[in-house]
Amino acid sequence: MSITKDEGIVAVAEAKTPLDLAPTTDVDNAWEYLDHHRDANLKDPIDLHKLRRKIDWRIVPLMFCAYTIQFLDKIILNYASVMSIREDLNLQGNDFTNLATFLFVGQAAFEIPNIYFLQKFPSAKWLAFNIICWGIATGSAAAAKTYQTLLVSRVFLGIFEATIAPSLMLISSQWYTKSEQAPRFSFWLLGLGMGQILGGAVSYGFQNIAPGTTAIAGWRIMFLVLGVVTVIIGICVLILLPDTPMKARWLTDNEKIALLKHVSVNQTGIENTKFRPKEIVEALCDPQIWLLLISILQLSNTGGIVAVYSATLIRNLGYDPKQAVLMNMPCGAVSIIFCLLTGYGIRKQSHRWAFILACIFPGMIGSGLMSFLPVTNKVGILAGIYLVNAVVAPLFIFYNWTVCNVAGATKRAFAVSAFTCVFSIGNIISPQTFQARDAPEYRPAKITVLATQAGAALTTFLLFLYYVWQNKSRNSSESETEEAFMSPEVWTRMTDRENKRFRYTY
């Protein structure tokens, strides 16, 4: 029997499928696994609902922890800014802004080689290696004596964090169908909100260390502790996260075959290590790639401000450092709420483009409140700072769109790396809108947030129209059952533009 992508039972041993027609070369490694096991005695049906839950509990917590700690390591500078780091390192003028900027310079620069490494190295092992390395970079910041030494540690932090989003996107796409990916993406992206909440709590705790009770400043201990925690998480990812479903020791052969057949409807493959430069050329000529990147560039401008300056903006309303970090914590709660609602809504209703707009509009309202209310209106400005965090949720939808709608191993690796590179560029630009001469209101930066969110809403709608047009131009008469997607072309290295059976998700 065959199933549609959202039904619950699949039988793995049936009459011969088009596996028999598979070419012997130029195929995804998943096809080779299926071909090797096609004569196995695997007649017991698999309950896909139970299989999904088993996979969820094995890999989603690890991805959540990895994304939480990378965001926490990144934004801890935000909380250190209201501690004594400025005085201890004698930060002057735009030094703090440059510390925030150059992390993303390192991240953007490493995305180019990361395209190659993502395809050539096992994804989970590559991710684990980079987590351990950025944990070391985070911890080393505790030893910084000058602005320059802290700057070096931030650049290396950016280099090693460059792979986090591309790796998690590719890993998620290996285990779930397109409709199943969205809520899972939203779960690990909750790490952004959780990082903000934990960051506030951690900073508050280290600010309460009594003077003279330790030989080093509280912010130094904070960096060191987070570095150690990051290394531990990296070791857990190295040991517990499989590189592909085929290598999962906790899945039976029966379950692996059922899962591979189930995710074949994605038509994006599982693992293929051959690098094809022509797919990069196709990506550069693909309108959807450019619309995705422009949208991400605009949204990341807001993300950079949320990550680095929210605690500073709150402190400038007249609150002391301890109050500022605690009052920044609801930013994370807003992010989590919108991520959960959006992930659930997409799973039930799809319409990713509409949910993006539904998050951008509250963010625009928040930007307006931040930009145009007088500084004496603390409640209104605080509400604006909190509402701006709604724009975090669309990031996971763009993550999901990138892996759902870009097929071809090299093209997809390029797309996810370009995604993170552009995200980094947006975060490079956004801190530079916070110039020392504009303190304490930073009005130009706030207006920039409002303008870029409006631009992201426009490009999102254009992307929706493009996907509708592309799907209408392709033959949509074929059944979307698993068996219908088991033809050789599904598992050969075809891009979304080469494969005329490919359907874009919007």
Nearest to 33 by CA among 275, 251, 279: 251
Question: pLDDT digit string (tens) for 68-122?
Answer: 898 888 878 877 776 778 888 888 877 877 887 888 888 888 877 877 787 778 8
246: alpha, beta or left, given left = phi > 0 and alpha = psi -120 to 50?
Answer: alpha
Residue 175's nearest CA partner among 232, 240, 246 is 246
Structural contact between residues 14 and 486, judged by C-beta atoms closer than 8 angstroms = no
Q: CA-to-CA distance for 328 and 317, rounded, in angstroms?
A: 12
pLDDT tens profile 412-458:
878 877 887 888 788 777 766 766 677 666 677 777 778 888 888 99
Q: CA quadruple 308, 306, 230, 323: dihedral positive or negative?
A: positive
Domain-wise residue ranges, the chain: 27-491
> Residue 136 pLDDT more than 80?
yes
What pLDDT does residue 137 have?
93
Assign domain 27-491 one CATH number from 1.20.1250.20, 1.10.540.10, 3.30.930.10, 2.40.160.100. Answer: 1.20.1250.20
- Is the Cβ–Cβ distance between 289 and 415 less than 8 Å? yes
Choose among 365, 402, 446, 418: nearest CA to 110.
418
Strands (DSSP E) found in 258-404: none
Residue 47 has a CB neighbour count (10 Å cut-off) of 14
Q: How far is CA 89 from CA 74, 179, 274, in A?
A: 19, 49, 47
* Torsion angles phi and psi, residue 5, rounded to 5: -65, -15
Give the whole-angstrom CA distance, residue 166 versus residue 26. 24
Q: For residue 364, what are its two tokens? A: 């625009």
Q: pLDDT-based confidence at 484, cuts 50/70/90?
A: very low
Q: Judge contact between 500 and 475, C-beta under 8 A.
A: yes
Higher pLDDT, 289 or 395: 289
Q: Please choose, from the candidates 99, 201, 196, 113, the residue with its C-alpha nearest in 3D space to the C-alpha of residue 156.
A: 99
Q: What is the mean pLDDT of residues 40-67?
A: 83
Band of residue 44 on the pLDDT scale cut at 50, 70, 90: low
Count of Cβ atoms closer than 10 Å to residue 86 Cβ:
16
351-363 mean pLDDT: 87
Torsion angle of alpha carbons 367, 373, 379, 383, nearest 10°? Answer: -10
